[in-house]
Amino acid sequence: MYLTETITAIATAIGESAIAIVRLSGPEAITLANEVFTGKDLTTVDSHTIQYGHIKDPKTATIIDEVLVSVFKAPRTFTMEDMVEINCHGGKIATQRILRLLLAQGARLAQPGEFTKRAFLNGRIDLAQAEAVMDVIHAKTEDALKMAVSGVDGKVSQLIQTLRSEVLTTLANIEVNIDYPEYDDAIEMSNHILKPRLEEVQVELEKILHQAQTGKIIREGIATAIVGRPNVGKSSLLNRLLQEERAIVTDIAGTTRDTVEGTLRLGHIVLNLVDTAGIRETADVVEAIGVEKSRQMIEQAQLVLIVLNNNEPLSDVDRELVTMTADKPRLVLINKMDLTNQLDLTELQLAENELVKISALEDWGLNQLEGRIQQLFDLADFTSEATENFVSNVRHIGLIEQASQSIQAALEGIALEMPVDLITVDIQDAWQALGEILGEEAKTDLIDELFSKFCLGK
Amino acid sequence: MKQYDVIVIGGGHAGSEAALAPARMGLQTLMITGSIEMIAHMPCNPSIGGPAKGIVVREIDALGGEMGRNTDKTNIQMKMLNLSKGPAVWSLRAQADKVEYPQAMQETILNQKNLAVLEAMVEEILVDEAQQVTGVRLETGDIVEAKAVILTTGTYLKSQILVGHTATDGGPSGQRASMGLSGNLQALGFDLFRLKTGTPARVATTSVDYTKTTIQPGDDVPRTFSFDTPMSEAKNPDDQLPCYLTYTAPETHQIINDNLGESAMYSGMVEGAGPRYCPSIEDKLVRFADKERHQIFLEPESKHTPEIYVQGFSTSMPHDVQEQMLRSLPGLENCEIIRYAYAIEYDAIVPTQLWPTLETKKVSGLFSAGQMNGTSGYEEAAGQGLIAGINAALKVKGEEQLVLRRDEAYIGVLIDDLVTKGTDEPYRLLTSRAEYRLLLRHDNADLRLRPHGIRVGLIDSERKANFAMKVMMIEMELARLQTLRITPKAATNAYLQTIPTAAIRDGISLYELMKRPEIEYHHLAPLMPIPAHLTAEVIEQVEVQIKYEGYIAKAMRQAERVKDLESKRIPMNLDYAQVPNLANEARQKLGEIRPLTIGQASRISGVNPADISILMIYLKSLKRSV
Ligand SMILES: Nc1nc2c(ncn2[C@@H]2O[C@H](COP(=O)(O)OP(=O)(O)OP(=O)(O)O)[C@@H](O)[C@H]2O)c(=O)[nH]1
Ligand SMILES: [Mg+2]
């Protein structure tokens, strides 16, 4: 069994903070740590205490770092196993050496999320919590962190619970009709009554899914491609947005040869920006390879920023880019607004809110650009409050999708005039899928509901 | 001193099946009962079947039990419930004749080869040092030996009748309670717990003014429970007795509320947990205070006694209050009370002490079935009695035990729930307890279970042949409908529109056509000759299987997934202390229940998915190290 092994890992992100924590969990966590520690005998200290000392290579007797060591004894620990946390401040290299020392002593390098998995396997946390903790590990921004945390203390569970109990009420009503056919106090759940109820649930589920999609954007960032002809100012725009000289800017067309990337926090969302090589045009013939490459970039992107030059007439490349992105979230940026206007866009028939006028050189119009992007992702009025209601985990989203499909199947069954006991099969599935998000299945709920809602029996 | 293969203690509905099965399987069997006349007696209302329970009766019949056939012989009303809903929840309910039902069962039992009946009280179950049952000692001191013993003592263990503030030792219908056996079982190490149930008053048929009630007739077509009762022997629907519906009046509620302190239930006299689905009327009033009226069904009990059962009106009020209460019901103003309502409290065995075979874990060869396992209802009792009888016989014969899965039978759901989760109130089957109820239908009980009945030897050769024939006919007809095609000819479409159903544009098979909700099998007749040899049962099966094909297939896929867990066996005597990393609660629960499969383990409350994966991995490592 895997749980008999002691695992270790650097718990803090490398290079991010001054203090690094090396964590151990498993039956030999304390003895292993003790072998590389000088100070008090860790095997005899009380649980949940912190010891001062040094980490020393037992073979060469060289001191590696000055540390604080926390000892936690099972079962009152995160993983419910013995745990040790070594807080060191010697920087990246010292931290790595401590880790290697522990591995040499017989610990195994933990897989990503393995501490959480153990906590789950040991029954410390339920599945929803475990998965939320997993998300914490990957959280990128404050909001994502908030979402992940709200999962931990049961916000996701609460959201699902509410919807699930609505489904349960419907189910209980159907069940009463079936198990007590002569009981006259419960309305007969005909398909006719069922339909609007299920449609309501479906709307709710879709809302959650929509929000989840937004949640995903918050957590993972929006893949954003900056495309346009050479020299229109793509790299200048990237640098302005990132507020650093990430890409080289010259007045020579074709400066950017390969892609340049950067991450931008825009209020509550993250843009993963990619600056691309400009698409060339020789004697009005669009260079096929350049277009092809841009097409790929555009396909992968969730948002496309097309940069045009206010100072030049519209070209075939510009037209091609606009057509290519017609059904994608995109914005058409008219750069170099500080120069005289030579560009006429009337033939493109763009909507007013697709156009943003900017000057990368003089740094104006960028606030408006950011506003437009937020609008585009329906996040303009995205308050921190609202973030708490996102379902952020891929598995949860999958299960909600499953529930939504089951409700859909029930609605299709109703359209086919299937009898109600068959329709309930799908409703039950939806109920179960929602229950699975909480990691527990609760069949008896239904029977409890039956007898608490209805006065039954002889 | 006589030696038997199997002894059955008790002659109720569990005991009757438990005794008939081993005898029919060729084993020397003895039924010990307090009174032969009370065999298969019906102390509560003589209703048999209903949702889930009706399907249990079909299952008993499919396996080779007696309840279905006996009901067919003695019913005074039959009704198919939930017909407006789908086939998964159709269920038959009968009003049995309270006098004829036990008589017919007694006749069957007394005439059964290999089965002896003894009127006596059992004092002690005899067990040797190896914890193997060896027989029983009677009150008289006599000892009867047996290789297996089945307990089916119903509500008679240390039972007390409660009316108002008085409690008297005794079982239902004035029979003696069994006082010694409880202590004996505890001495053997069994945990017992106390349960409560009740039964309402009976009033004289002639004293009711039916004009103030609504008549509730039975079906107007003949119906039968048993797969083997020929239609010619079904009761004539015209001879049925109807039921009647009335309601509690505001005055009734007033009387009850004024006298709550008089009720045994509310005066704190009752220790046992009462069933939620069989609450007393005072319970209903307290728990659902804003409900203005409650339904009361008046059910005739027999053609031979002038008694009406007042269903929905159980109570443990003193007699004088009961009288006032009854007379406040519309139609019962002048009723004559023949028997008063009472509550009864009794000992039951904690059912998690049983294997899924219904053998006790503590004493080898000792089985337990019926109400004493914490269930309520005749059907639940009979289903368990049959399984205990079959398994006791199989054990004596040294053959493999019979455990029905949850996707295979309501009886499987019932027993699995009992032995895996236990119960704290008398357990009643509900269709909602079954996760695969689309597979557990009224119509296919024989297809599901008759093969088991044949395997254990409860189905004689004639019934075996009939069954094989039915299975073949269904398959042939399904295949035939797939090959028969109709094309959009004018005449064909003209006929389809008369049904009415939409005209066809391309050729389709009759199988496809049957899938339309409005098409019934008989609609196909003008399109093709219907084979004359097809029985109504075969046609019903063909209809259900085609119409609900998609749903049934889906349920089967789901069941298949779980079956996989069900086939992963856990050694009977696994030492859970040796399994590392189990959560404490799980370790304790698993050690207590000792599930036989991973599937069963996963249903124990307090055992979470993490524990299951740990257990699975441990079992794997055990296998590897062997
Ligand atoms: N006047 C003016 N000049 C600008 C503006 N934005 C960029 N430029 C200038 O235009 C030239 C090209 O800018 P880049 O940002 O390198 O253009 P690019 O689109 O990345 O070009 P390639 O990488 O070659 O495809 C530089 O000289 C910039 O200073 C603007 O808003 N106004
Ligand atoms: Mg560039």
How many Å lie between the alpha carbon of A1 and the closest alpha carbon of chain B?
Answer: 7
pLDDT recorded at residue A85? 92
- In 3D, which of A285, A295, A277, A202 has the Cα closest to residue A234? A277
pLDDT recorded at residue A46? 92
Q: Is the pLDDT of residue B304 over 80?
A: yes
3-state secondary structure of A48: coil
Q: Which chain A residues are within 8 Å of B87, Cβ to Cβ?
A: 419, 421
Contact B432 A447 (CB under 8 A): yes
* Beta bridge partners of residue A227, listed in sequence order: A306
Ligand 1 atom closest to the CA of A252, numbered from 1: 24
Q: Is the pLDDT of residue A452 over 60?
A: yes
Q: Which of A4, A123, A175 sits opposite B610 (nearest CB)?
A: A123
Contact B295 A458 (CB under 8 A): no
Which region among A127-136, B274-283, B350-359 has the lowest average model confidence (pLDDT)? A127-136
Q: Which chain A residues are within 8 Å of B276, Cβ to Cβ?
A: 451, 456-457
Rounded to the nearest integer, the mean pLDDT of chain B is 91
Q: Which chain B residues are within 8 Å of A179, Cβ to Cβ?
A: 51-52, 430-432
Most ligand 1 atoms within 8 A of CB, residue of A226, A227, A232, A236 to mutate: A236
pLDDT recorded at residue A103? 78
Q: How far apart are CA A329 and CA A349, in angstroms?
A: 16
Q: Tell me the per-residue pLDDT of A272-311, one tens digit each, with 9 for 90 and over.
A: 898 888 877 654 444 566 667 777 888 888 899 999 999 9
pLDDT recorded at residue B211? 95
pLDDT recorded at residue A111? 67
Q: Which of B431, B581, B586 sits opposite A179 (nearest CB)?
A: B431
Which region among A251-265, A328-342, A417-431, B92-106 has the lowest average model confidence (pLDDT)? A251-265
Q: Tell me the per-residue pLDDT of A144-158, one tens digit each, with 9 for 90 and over.
A: 445 444 454 456 667
**In this structure, which residue's CA is closest to atom 21 in ligand 1?**
A231
Find out whether A98 and A86 touch, Cβ atoms under 8 Å.
Answer: yes
Q: How far apart are CA B560 and CA A342, in angstroms?
A: 70
The finding on whether A235 has its CB within 6 A of some atom of ligand 1 is yes
What is the Å distance from ligand 2's center to A371 Cα?
Answer: 24
pLDDT recorded at residue A112? 61
What is the Å distance from ligand 1's center to A265 Cα?
Answer: 23
B600-607 mean pLDDT: 87
Helices H / strands E in chain B, number of each: 19, 22
What is the Å distance from ligand 1's center to A236 Cα?
Answer: 6
Q: Is the pLDDT of residue B477 over 70?
A: yes
Rounded to the nearest 10 degrees, how much is the dihedral formed by the CA atoms of B11, B15, B19, B22? -170
Q: How far apart are CA B374 and CA A339, in angstroms?
A: 90
Q: What is the CA radius of gyration of chain B?
A: 26
Which region among B155-164, B267-276, B357-366, B415-424 has the lowest average model confidence (pLDDT)? B267-276
How many Å lie between the alpha carbon of B582 and the closest alpha carbon of chain A?
Answer: 7
Find out whether A290 and A321 touch, Cβ atoms under 8 Å.
Answer: no
Q: Which residues of chain A approach chain B closer than 8 Å at the C-beta?
A: 1-4, 120-123, 126-127, 175, 177-185, 416-422, 425, 439-440, 443, 446-447, 450-451, 455-458
Q: Is the pLDDT of residue A355 over 80?
A: yes
Ligand 1 atom closest to the CA of A337, numbered from 1: 31
A381 band by pLDDT with thresholds 50, 70 and 90? very low
Find out whether A231 and A263 touch, Cβ atoms under 8 Å.
Answer: no
Percent of chain B residues topping a pLDDT of 70: 96
pLDDT: which is higher, B425 or B378? B378
Run of H or E including B192: strand B192-199
3-state secondary structure of A187: coil
* Beta bridge partners of residue B397, listed in sequence order: none
Q: Is the pLDDT of residue B257 over 70?
A: yes
Q: Which of B88, B438, B517 sits opposite A417 (nearest CB)?
A: B517
The finding on whether A233 has its CB within 6 A of some atom of ligand 1 is yes
Q: How far apart are CA B551 and CA A88, in angstroms?
A: 60
Q: Which of A3, A184, A185 sits opposite B580 (nearest CB)?
A: A3
Q: Which of B86, B432, B614 sits opposite A121 (nearest CB)?
A: B614
The conformational region for residue B457 under phi > 0 = left, psi -120 to 50 = alpha, else beta, is left
- Write down the pTM of the prediction: 0.74
Q: Which chain A residues are within 8 Å of B297, Cβ to Cβ?
A: 182, 458
3-state secondary structure of B504: coil
Q: What is the CA radius of gyration of chain A?
A: 29
pLDDT recorded at residue A268? 66
Q: What angle in degrees, to the nearest 10, is found between the helix axes of A127-138 and A420-437?
A: 50
pLDDT recorded at residue B199? 85
Q: Write down all domains in chain A, each with its CATH number in brackets.
A: 2-126 (3.30.1360.120), 138-217+391-442 (1.20.120.430), 221-376 (3.40.50.300)
3-state secondary structure of B623: helix
Ligand nearest to the CA of A229: 1
Q: Which chain B residues are within 8 Å of A175, Cβ to Cβ?
A: 430-432
A115 band by pLDDT with thresholds 50, 70 and 90? confident
Chain A residue whose CA is closest to B90: A178
- In 3D, which of B309, B213, B304, B243 has the Cα closest to residue B78? B243
Which region among A141-155, B62-76, B277-291, B474-488 has the lowest average model confidence (pLDDT)? A141-155
pLDDT recorded at residue A348? 86
Q: Tell me the per-residue pLDDT of A10-31, one tens digit each, with 9 for 90 and over.
A: 776 544 456 778 899 999 999 9
Which region among A130-144, B90-104, B176-190, B440-454 has the lowest average model confidence (pLDDT)? A130-144
* Beta bridge partners of residue A226, listed in sequence order: A275, A305
Ligand 1 atom closest to the CA of A238, numbered from 1: 15
**Which protein residues have a CB closer than 5 Å to ligand 2 (ion)?**
A 235, 255-256
pLDDT recorded at residue A16? 45
**Which pair of tokens denotes residue B347?**
């000992």
Which region among A53-62, B36-45, B609-618 has the lowest average model confidence (pLDDT)? B609-618
Contact B610 A425 (CB under 8 A): no
Q: How far apart are CA B301 and CA B47, in angstroms?
A: 9
Q: Tell me the per-residue pLDDT of A87-112, one tens digit each, with 9 for 90 and over.
A: 887 666 677 778 878 877 878 777 66
3-state secondary structure of B350: coil
Which region among A97-106, B48-57, B126-135 has the lowest average model confidence (pLDDT)? A97-106
Which DSSP symbol is given to B40?
T
What is the Å distance from ligand 1's center to A332 Cα?
Answer: 16
Rounded to the nearest integer, the mean pLDDT of chain A is 79
**Which pair of tokens denotes residue A65?**
């770092």
Residues 6+ apart with CB under 8 A from A4: A26, A27, B580
Q: Tell me the per-residue pLDDT of B496-540, one tens digit each, with 9 for 90 and over.
A: 999 999 999 999 999 999 999 889 999 998 888 878 788 888 999
pLDDT recorded at residue A140? 42
How many beta-carbon contacts under 8 Å exist across A and B?
116
The phi, psi pair for A456, rounded to 5°, reads -115, 165
